[in-house]
Chain A
Amino acid sequence: DAGVTQSPTHLIKTRGQHVTLRCSPISGHKSVSWYQQVLGQGPQFIFQYYEKEERGRGNFPDRFSARQFPNYSSELNVNALLLGDSALYLCASSGGQGSFTDTQYFGPGTRLTVL
């Protein structure tokens, strides 16, 4: 069975540009969460979506937005990129009712570099 997939694997952008990251959850999973992981730190929660509705939002500026599609895949959008947005962006999916007691399955991440 395929795990969580993310695309692209790597991305290089310049300051001020916009980026879209994509995530496909494990088949049957309806919850998708996004995290930002800066080198040497733990993942930081950005958003959770369940059944296409936003369930949770971390302390990130409005430049960050996300959505979930009817097939439960998800996109994370970041506008007006800053150097500090350079990080590994992780997506996690889970089954059940979208509770964090459900096992979170993480994808391999998208490495974003902002120059």
Chain B
Amino acid sequence: SQKIEQNSEALNIQEGKTATLTCNYTNYSPAYLQWYRQDPGRGPVFLLLIRENEKEKRKERLKVTFDTTLKQSLFHITASQPADSATYLCALTMNNNAGNMLTFGGGTRLMVKP
């Protein structure tokens, strides 16, 4: 079955640096992949969606890449700020016998230090 893996260890970086988070998946390549941000005690917030025919997508300081050969997506935050500290989740759509489902990775916690 499809597995989604994100680095479970927290990523600590200095303010102003670029943060890079990784999402790896096994088996088949999804048609699209999503990234969310989650703050403690809150629901996830949608950030970006990238489709299989898009190699890269940008939104302000965020950039997502999607490599279907490596079965990997990278999420970059440039010029990181302490306010970017949160857990970042990747998600993809899978189909089981009961229909489509949105499947999340375990998330990576990002800590940006001033």
Tell me the A residues contacting B by CB distance below 8 Å.
4, 33, 35, 40-45, 48, 54-59, 90, 92, 99-101, 103-109
Contacts and interface: CB of A to CB of B under 8 A. Distances in A.
A101 B33 CA distance: 9
A4 B44 CA distance: 12
B99 A104 contact: no
17 contacts: A4-B43, A35-B104, A41-B107, A43-B89, A45-B102, A48-B100, A48-B101, A56-B96, A57-B101, A58-B101, A100-B100, A101-B32, A101-B49, A103-B46, A105-B46, A106-B45, A109-B41
Contacts of A109: 41-43
Contacts of B41: 108-109
- Main secondary structure, interface of B, reads strand
Interface residues of B, number: 25
B50 to A, nearest CB: 11
A90 B43 contact: yes
B44 A43 contact: yes
B93 A100 contact: yes
B14 to A, nearest CB: 25
B46 A104 contact: yes
Instruction: Please name the 5 residue pairs, one residue from A and one from B, whose CB atoms are nearest each other, closest first.
Output: A106-B43, A42-B104, A56-B99, A57-B98, A45-B101
A44 B4 CA distance: 12
B105 A42 contact: yes
A41 to B, nearest CB: 5
B102 A100 contact: yes
A102 B33 CA distance: 12
